[in-house]
Structure 1
Amino acid sequence: MSELASESSTQFLDLDVTVDAGDGWVGVIPAGGTFRIVDLHGNQAADTLFYDAADLDNRYSATDTIREQGAVYLTTGSKLLSANLDVLATITEDTCGRHDTVGGACSQESNVIRYGTHTRHQHACRQTFLRYGAEVGIGPAQLGHNINFFMNVPLTPDGGLTFADGVSAPGKYVQVRAERDIIALVSNCPQLNNPCNGWNPTPIQLQGWWSQ
């Protein structure tokens, strides 16, 4: 483990992995731990789900998070709530500015509906969620609302949404503090059919600090 100069001298880097486009990661972040997602090349969507490590059914809820805070986008200070209104994590730092939680994760089925049958074979975030989620007991029934970190999904005046070019840039990051032991499930989005990844999916970096 390497020491992070900008953090306390007693805190060490416990997690430092690069996740390629189309790949994923799953792991436990203990209560009080810090979890950071870095957009290495800019305009890359990092689809993310959070779960109470002690109860996988107590998972992140976009509906409750948006309603309770009166804000459709996530940024510094946003509390990420479960359907039980438990705070799973809090965004403590955000150099991007805002993050989507209404656009959902891409799947082969939604790709076909949105972009045509020729996209059926393309890998999608739902597959990544299921692949890595299986390692910790997360199956189709446990998949729900997700956060699309760094993704730009403007809302239209009539209540619709659009997938637009990103507002992130190389090196931008978002950081959360776990308010209880949580599981983070990440899919580094492989989407090629809209500009959420700048038409060119790229790697992200995951970092974590929780040792004292």
Structure 2
Amino acid sequence: MTQAAASETYQGHIWTESFPGGAHWSGVIRRGTVLRITDINGAANVSMLINNLEVKNERYNMPDTLKAQKTAFLTVPNMCFSDMGRVMCSVIADTCGWHDTIGGISNAASVKKKYGEKDYQQAHNDYYKNGFENLLNELEKWGLGTNDIMPTVNWFSKVRVSDEGTMEFIEGNSKAGDYVDLRFEMDSIVSLSFAQHPMDPNPEYAPQPIELSVFKANPVAQDDPCRLHRGENERAYYNTKVYYGENPND
């Protein structure tokens, strides 16, 4: 496993916003920008869905992303592939080193079973939130729905599979201040949930706060590590450039 800190200086800061644990967010992240996700206190989980802004049923595809890059988790220099064989974003910096792709998201039943129940009528904004409803709330803002909830990337969480095939959540994977930088290659709708990972063994309901920042990205170099990581990465990058009517050799 390789950990890579962000050594790049980006061309310009666009915005930064912090969110409490358990919250959710969605927005448009433009190609040519970098989304930095920061784990403020450590032990955070950020579940992400990505949809093409122009053709919303083109989305992040977990099976293609993993098999094309021969991996079960994401870090530098991996890319997130769409179900159309194009690259949606590239992991260009990562101080954590392992991000889960197979653990899924929580739902209302699993949260109630694990932590008990605290609904909005009882606790107002402090009610117990879950990944499924968080993402559904955001998707509906863009005319999407339940059928658009696909396998997510769970940034900052680590799930390991044993030789016997059992899945194990690894505690302490992400420390306070860890971050991951995603350079977007496609205009995308990004939907995020900051609820706890469903396999988190913490018996307390304790989702952690997150900071989001967006920067203008530097131009993609010919020797870009993400682009050259595998032949499939170069092909996905080529397909995306052609999709936008640009010279794929630039």
TM-score of Structure 1 vs Structure 2, range by shorter chain: 0.7 to 0.9
Could you tell me which amino acid in structure 1 is paired with residue 171 of structure 2?
Answer: D
Could you tell me which amino acid in structure 2 is paired with residue 7 of structure 1?
Answer: T
Distance of 2:204 and 2:64 partners within structure 1: 30
1:175 maps to 181
Alpha-carbon contact 1:22-1:124 (below 8 Å) kept: yes
1:155 maps to 161
1:126 maps to 132
1:51 aligns with 2:51: yes
1:38 maps to 38
3-state SS, counterpart of residue 63 of structure 1: helix
Could you tell me which amino acid in structure 1 is paired with residue 141 of structure 2?
Answer: E
Distance of 1:111 and 1:100 partners within structure 2: 19
TM-score, scaled to structure 2: 0.74
Distance of 2:28 and 2:204 partners within structure 1: 30
Alpha-carbon contact 2:45-2:208 (below 8 Å) kept: no
3-state SS, counterpart of residue 133 of structure 2: helix
| Structure 2: unaligned runs, 5 residues or longer | 1-7, 120-127, 219-250
Q: How does 1:79-158 map to 2 (within 5 A)?
A: 79-111=79-111, 115=113, 118=116, 122-158=128-164
Deviations for 1:111-154, whole angstroms, at most 9, x for unmatched residues? Answer: 46xx4694596420111111122222221111101000000211
Q: Which of 183, 187, 190 is the equivalent residue of 1:184?
A: 190
Distance of 2:68 and 2:202 partners within structure 1: 27
2:212 maps to 206
Q: How does 1:22-37 map to 2 (within 5 A)?
A: 22-37=22-37
3-state SS, counterpart of residue 136 of structure 2: helix
Alpha-carbon contact 1:165-1:198 (below 8 Å) kept: no
Aligned-residue CA RMSD (Å): 2.5
How far did residue 198 of structure 1 move?
8.6
1:7 aligns with 2:9: yes
Cα 1:145–1:186 change in 2 (3 A) is same
Greater C-alpha radius of gyration:
2
| Structure 1: unaligned runs, 5 residues or longer | 1-5
TM-score, scaled to structure 1: 0.86
3-state SS, counterpart of residue 162 of structure 1: strand
Distance of 2:142 and 2:100 partners within structure 1: 25
Alpha-carbon contact 2:60-2:88 (below 8 Å) kept: yes
How far did residue 20 of structure 1 move?
0.9
More helix by share: 2
Cα 1:183–1:141 change in 2 (3 A) is same
2:66 maps to 66
Distance of 2:65 and 2:203 partners within structure 1: 25
Distance of 2:203 and 2:158 partners within structure 1: 10
- The percentage of counterpart residues that share the same residue type is 27
Q: How does 1:11-22 map to 2 (within 5 A)?
A: 11-22=11-22
**What is the aligned residue count?**
203
1:3 maps to none
Alpha-carbon contact 2:115-2:205 (below 8 Å) kept: no
